C-alpha cells in the first residue's frame, strides 16, 4: 500500500509558465513533507520542505502548499525554466521516539519544460 502517491508520472509545461506538481498521502502520522529533484543515476537534491503545522512555504521560485485535511500537498514552480526539467519526488516523514524516521517517497513526476 503506497503511503505517498504522485499520480502524474509526467507533466509538460511551457517555459515561463507555472508548474504544479501534486502529491497525496494516506498516513496521518506524517508531520513533515519534502520535495526532491532528481536526475537519472544521481541522488535526489533537496528543494523545499514544509512542516504539518504550516500550510505554505516559499523559497524563491518554489512554493509548497499543504492541505492537511485533504492529505494533499503541491509544489509550484514559477516561472518554469528549462533547467527545471527533472523527476520530482514528494517525500514524507514522521517523528518517532528516537528521531525523525526515514523518508517515504512517492513514485515521482517527470517534469518537462518546453521552450
Partner 1 sequence: GAVVSQHPSWVICKSGTSVKIECRSLDFQATTMFWYRQFPKQSLMLMATSNEGSKATYEQGVEKDKFLINHASLTLSTLTVTSAHPEDSSFYICSARDRLWASVYEQYFGPGTRLTVT
Q: What does the binding site for partner 1 look like in residue numbers (CB under 8 A)?
A: 32, 34, 36, 41-46, 49, 89, 93, 95, 98-108
Classified as helix, coil or strand, 86 is: strand
Can you tell me the distance from the alpha carbon of 40 to that of 99, in angstroms, rounded to the nearest whole number? 30
Phi, psi of 83 (to 5 degrees): -70, -10
Least distance (Å) from partner 1 to the CB of residue 114?
A: 22
Least distance (Å) from partner 1 to the CB of residue 62?
A: 15
Can you tell me the distance from the alpha carbon of 102 to that of 87, in angstroms, rounded to the nearest whole number? 20
Least distance (Å) from partner 1 to the CB of residue 79?
A: 26
Which of residues 8 and 49 has its CB atom nearest to partner 1 in the complex? 49
Burial level of 57, CB count in 10 A (0-12/13-18/19+)? middle
Least distance (Å) from partner 1 to the CB of residue 42?
A: 6
Which of residues 64 and 103 has its CB atom nearest to partner 1 in the complex? 103
Amino acid at each position: 500500500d503506497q503511503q505517498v502517491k504522485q499520480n502524474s508520472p509526467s507533466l509538460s509545461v511551457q517555459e515561463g509558465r507555472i508548474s504544479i506538481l501534486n502529491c497525496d498521502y494516506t498516513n496521518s502520522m506524517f508531520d513533515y513533507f519534502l520535495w526532491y529533484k532528481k536526475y537519472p543515476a544521481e541522488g535526489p537534491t533537496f528543494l523545499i520542505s514544509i512542516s504539518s503545522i504550516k500550510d505554505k512555504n516559499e523559497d524563491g521560485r518554489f512554493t509548497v502548499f499543504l492541505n492537511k485535511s485533504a492529505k494533499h500537498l503541491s509544489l509550484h514552480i514559477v516561472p518554469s525554466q528549462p533547467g527545471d526539467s527533472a523527476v520530482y519526488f514528494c517525500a514524507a516523514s514522521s517523528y518517532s521516539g528516537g528521531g525523525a524516521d526515514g523518508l517515504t517517497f512517492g513514485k515521482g513526476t517527470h517534469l518537462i519544460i518546453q521552450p
